[in-house]
Amino acid sequence: MSALPLHGLRVADFSWVHAGPFAAMLLGELGAEVIKIETGKRVDIVRRLPPMADRIAGVNRSGYFNAVNRSKRSCTLDLATEEGLALARDLVRVSDVVIENFSPGVFERLGLGYETLREIRPDIILVSISGYGATGPDRHYVAYGTPLTAFSGLVALQGYPGGDPQSMNLAWPDPVAGYYAAFAVLAALHFRAETGQGQFVDLAQAEAAISFLGDQLTETTLNGRQPPRRGNEEAGAAPHGIYRCAGDDRWIAIAVTDDDAWQGLRTAVGDPGLDDPAFADPFGRWERRAEIDLIVERWTRDRSPEEAFHWLQAHGVPAAPAATFADLADDPHLAAREFFGIDVHPEAGPRQMTGLPWRFGSIPRRIGSPAPQLGGDNAWVFGDLLGLAPERLAELETRNVVA
């Protein structure tokens, strides 16, 4: 097997910001031909967000944009014009999948709703990603990462015992929804292969985030109890937390959840204080977890996170450094697995990028083509793919239809 798994699939990517572009990027990295439809009149906001390559602003220089839009081509269209919409429909006609993440109703008002797309291509797969879904009383509400994280219930779980809820300061529902959307595309492709029918996928980012918290929800549905905020604690597990190590702002996570790991910790740390008979069972350790934390941190403070990590793991103790991004970039394990790769962007230059978290045994791990420059593939998309004559394309560019 030499071709990538999705070789031969074409995706028309009308999405912007994070969730939709990330989903389309996953498909592109797996071999699909992804065409990003955008416009210079209202540039994808992520193109203007930092970090910028060499701290020089530019619509092709955003590290954020370039990280979630690899393995794509870019064409520019003004969808507010009839000719622009006609070209968009022509792209749908030659595509297998369409991805969009406008607010519910926007795609329909543009004249690109699912029923319209089915008339153009009966077996089309349309994935519509929105904050709260295409139906329901909240469907038109504005959705961004932090509010969606709060809506999902996750913020209510974050924070220290007795303290206020805390945000993760991370648009966590976006990549989660992106993975779900890519999975939904694969399922819809299988369904189409079996039945010949396309599919409309209505994907709500809020529901994607909520679905990751199933075990926490059951605490309420089964026991009628809201899970409390625990900080770094885990109910019944001790020691369990983040412990200071030698160095400036260096830490390690340790999670002891059974007797085997506890015995390994005792041996690794070698502190007589851990031999107290009161610590012989999990309940006793949980009841006196504060004492255990002091003993453990007394040991970790004299060691680097890496030293403590390898020593504890050698004794069967689940532990890992609280890595910085610089640590990850230089991590020898990730390097051995070729997780990172060098993305050579024509304007932003060579940059280290994360790979995908899976490997296909017969295919070398790779970073796909760099994120496209705004409208950089107009000639290929409209000329080579859709067959417009150069004179016609030039005329559309002059009138800002292709813009």
At residue 350, the 3 state secondary structure works out as strand
Q: Is 7 in contact with 49 (CB distance < 8 Å)? A: no
Rounded to whole angstroms, the Cα distance separating 345 from 63 reads: 10
Helix 259-269 and helix 289-300, axial crossing angle in degrees, nearest 10: 40
Using alpha carbons, select from 282, 162, 169, 152 the residue that is nearest to residue 216. Answer: 152
The token pair at 262 is: 């506890």
Dihedral of CA atoms 128, 132, 135, 141 in degrees, nearest 10, equals -110
Size (the chain), residues:
403
The token pair at 212 is: 């990751």
The partner residues of 381 in beta bridges, in order of sequence, read: none
Q: Is 318 in contact with 268 (CB distance < 8 Å)? A: no
Helix 259-269 and helix 305-314, axial crossing angle in degrees, nearest 10: 130
- Is residue 302 flagged as an active site residue? no
Rounded to whole angstroms, the Cα distance separating 123 from 117 reads: 9
User: Which CA distances in Å does 385 have to 28, 53, 73, 99, 112?
Assistant: 18, 32, 12, 19, 20
Give me the catalytic one of 78, 96, 174, 293: 174
Rounded to whole angstroms, the Cα distance separating 107 from 101 reads: 9
What DSSP element (H or E) covers 276? none
- Active-site residue list: 174
